[in-house]
């Protein structure tokens, strides 16, 4: 009786929301499934696009998993994990962002019936980890190396990888055109690791086919003063001077005060100002440079001065463009015009200003060190060009990865089916419950080919049965078979050049398994709404106290 009368012990603040146990886990799994349903239809060459309208009124049209996940303001703590793995896949490999979200959600979906039946999550986690190790070993075993090929062959193979990536994007219709452009750009920067060395410039108007690649640097004509039109717009083998200083008359920054006893001294002060700028300009002209670029403003006086001496100048050049010009031409950005030696000047074969659409571009081509390239994108609508830029970013990342880790696997769901078959076979050799768990992991991997069929409007069950039968052949010749998007049947993905770098798959399986295990290992969520509002109030009162001299409080603020 005494034990029944014991008062309830309250540990947490009133209003704290705690949910734990099986129901909590199932609700987390449901949240992750809901998130994956958003990006599910964007997978593959026949994937649909999403139009996302944010609170600022800007519209984004995209089918890149990472972009969509970033724009969805997900508040559910467990579902946020999926957004994070999409982001990490994007920064690590560049492609496969939708794949990784789908796989993670599917692993959780397959785990859900076991959780409801009372299986301990740790058992599932252990089996999933084992399965992922086996899967990754199998991917490495099935991967084909493209090392040791001639440059021409390698270019072809890399273009195939880029085309596979681009086939699922908005610009998929012109994938061959863009794939070769991306490969040329990546080969141009060579071993250079910084992605910023490939510039993407967007010019509305024209059509996609008007896009072009500059083996060098191109940037939009900057703001210019009178006298700019008199400057020559084309040079062969010019010397290029890069500055980070202003070339204009500057008023004193501080309120300087000069007292004169004699009015004639005033003129000497004005002259001194002019002498300073003319001295700077003379030094620029004497350096022998024919093109002068500066990150800061080049004023009207300087523009006219350079025009009279047949020198081209551009001020307020964006930092990244200036760095790219420096890398390409072999010049060094100077912070002073004193002592300009030939070593700090860059050079290129041809500099010209060219009209692209209704913009004018300054183009440096035939650069000696050649470690940079610029892709100028054309297209009808702004949203379209934005999406094209995101698609090309993915393709560039993929080609870079494929150059470094030169192994590829068959795409189109082929590799997923092969791993799935291998894991099912392996599961039969295991005694105990983990046989079931590894089997469910294998079944989850089939989500990729199934979704590819669904998005293309084919009968998924029919295609998957054909694939299972093909992959089950003892000779192993069925391994490269995947979904044929064009006919609705199955086809040899390798023969059809549907390739993706092995690193994409390895990373996707790793990240998806980790995310699934993370969600499965959470058994309690504690949310404290009170503390959040209390923090907000404390911050507000602190601001009120500071801003009003401490004593006087603002209107409507609690005392």
**Would you please indicate which residues are annotated as catalytic (active-site) residues?**
64, 97-98, 394
Q: Bridge partners of 247?
A: 298
Number of Cβ within 10 Å of residue 114's Cβ equals 19
Pairing of strands 216-220, 312-314: unpaired
Buried/exposed 484-516: b ≥16 CB within 10 Å, e otherwise: bbeeeebbbbbebebbbbbbbbbbbbbbbbbbb
The two three-digit tokens of residue 36, written as one number: 């994956």
Q: What is the DSSP string of 281-292?
A: HHHHHHTT-SEE
Q: Bridge partners of 376?
A: 201, 212
CA 10/CA 7 separation, integer angstroms: 9
CA distances for 136 relative to 140, 142, 371, 406, 535, angstroms: 6, 10, 35, 16, 46
CA 319/CA 18 separation, integer angstroms: 50
Helix (H), strand (E) counts: the chain: 18, 21
Q: Bridge partners of 53?
A: 59
CA 283/CA 402 separation, integer angstroms: 47
Pairing of strands 198-204, 373-379: parallel
Closest CA to 411 of 510, 512, 484: 484
Which single residue is written with the structure tokens 């001294």? 265
Specify the length of the chain in residues: 559
The two three-digit tokens of residue 423, written as one number: 């894991």
Q: Which residues does 20 contact at the CB level (< 8 Å), separation at least 6? A: 523, 524, 525
Q: What is the DSSP string of 206-240?
A: S-GGG-EEESEEEEE-----TTGGGS--EEES-EE
CB 346 within 8 A of CB 239: yes
CA 193/CA 179 separation, integer angstroms: 20
The two three-digit tokens of residue 249, written as one number: 């008359």
CB 375 within 8 A of CB 324: no
The two three-digit tokens of residue 438, written as one number: 């590894």
CA 413/CA 483 separation, integer angstroms: 6
Which single residue is written with the structure tokens 């690649």? 213
């Amino acid at each position: 009786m005494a034990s029944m009368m014991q008062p309830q012990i309250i540990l947490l603040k009133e209003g704290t929301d705690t949910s734990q146990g099986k129901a909590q886990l199932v609700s987390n799994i449901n949240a992750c499934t809901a998130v994956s349903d958003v990006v599910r239809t964007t997978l593959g060459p026949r994937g649909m696009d999403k139009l996302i309208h944010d609170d600022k009124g800007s519209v984004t049209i995209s089918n890149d998993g990472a972009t969509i996940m970033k724009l969805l303001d997900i508040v559910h703590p467990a579902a946020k994990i999926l957004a994070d793995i999409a982001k990490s896949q994007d920064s690590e490999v560049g492609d496969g962002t939708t794949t990784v979200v789908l796989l993670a959600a599917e692993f959780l979906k397959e785990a859900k019936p076991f959780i409801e039946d009372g299986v301990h999550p740790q058992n599932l986690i252990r089996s999933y980890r084992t399965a992922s190790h086996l899967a990754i070993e199998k991917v490495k075993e099935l991967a084909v190396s493209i090392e040791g090929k001639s440059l021409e062959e390698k270019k072809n193979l890399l273009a195939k990888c880029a085309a596979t990536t681009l086939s699922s994007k908005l610009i998929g219709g012109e994938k061959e055109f863009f794939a070769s452009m991306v490969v040329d750009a990546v080969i141009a920067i060579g071993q250079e690791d910084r992605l910023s060395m490939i510039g993407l410039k967007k010019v509305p108007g024209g059509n996609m086919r008007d896009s072009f690649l500059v083996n060098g640097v191109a940037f939009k004509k900057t703001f210019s003063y009178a006298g700019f039109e008199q400057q020559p717009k084309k040079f062969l083998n010019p010397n290029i001077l890069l500055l980070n200083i202003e070339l204009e008359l500057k008023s004193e920054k501080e309120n300087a005060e000069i007292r004169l006893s004699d009015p004639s001294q005033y003129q000497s002060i004005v002259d001194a100002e002019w002498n300073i700028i003319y001295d700077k300009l003379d030094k620029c002209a004497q350096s022998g440079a024919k093109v002068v670029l500066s990150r800061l403003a080049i004023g009207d006086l300087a523009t006219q001065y350079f025009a009279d001496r047949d020198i081209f100048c551009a001020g307020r050049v964006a930092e990244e463009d200036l760095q790219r010009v420096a890398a390409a031409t072999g010049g060094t950005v100077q912070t002073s015009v004193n002592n300009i030696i030939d070593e700090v000047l860059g050079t290129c074969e041809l500099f010209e200003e060219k009209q692209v659409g209704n913009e004018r571009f300054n183009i440096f081509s035939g650069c000696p060190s050649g470690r940079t390239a610029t892709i100028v994108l054309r297209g009808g609508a702004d949203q379209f060009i934005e999406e094209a830029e995101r698609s090309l970013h993915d393709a560039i990342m993929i080609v870079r990865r494929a150059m470094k880790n030169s192994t590829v696997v068959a795409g189109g769901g082929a590799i997923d089916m092969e791993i799935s078959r291998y894991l099912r076979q392996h599961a039969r050799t295991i005694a105990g419950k983990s046989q079931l768990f590894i089997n469910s992991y294998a079944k989850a991997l089939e989500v990729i080919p199934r979704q590819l069929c669904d998005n293309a409007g084919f009968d998924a069950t029919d295609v998957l049965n054909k694939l299972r039968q093909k992959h089950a052949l003892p000779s192993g010749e069925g391994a490269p078979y995947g979904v044929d998007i064009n006919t609705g049947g199955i086809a040899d993905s390798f023969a059809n050049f549907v390739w993706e770098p092995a690193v994409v798959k390895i990373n996707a399986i790793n990240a998806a398994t980790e995310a699934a295990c993370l969600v499965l290992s959470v058994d309690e969520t504690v949310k404290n709404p009170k503390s959040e509002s209390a923090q907000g109030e404390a911050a507000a009162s602190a601001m009120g106290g500071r801003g009003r001299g401490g004593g006087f409080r603002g209107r409507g603020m609690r005392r």
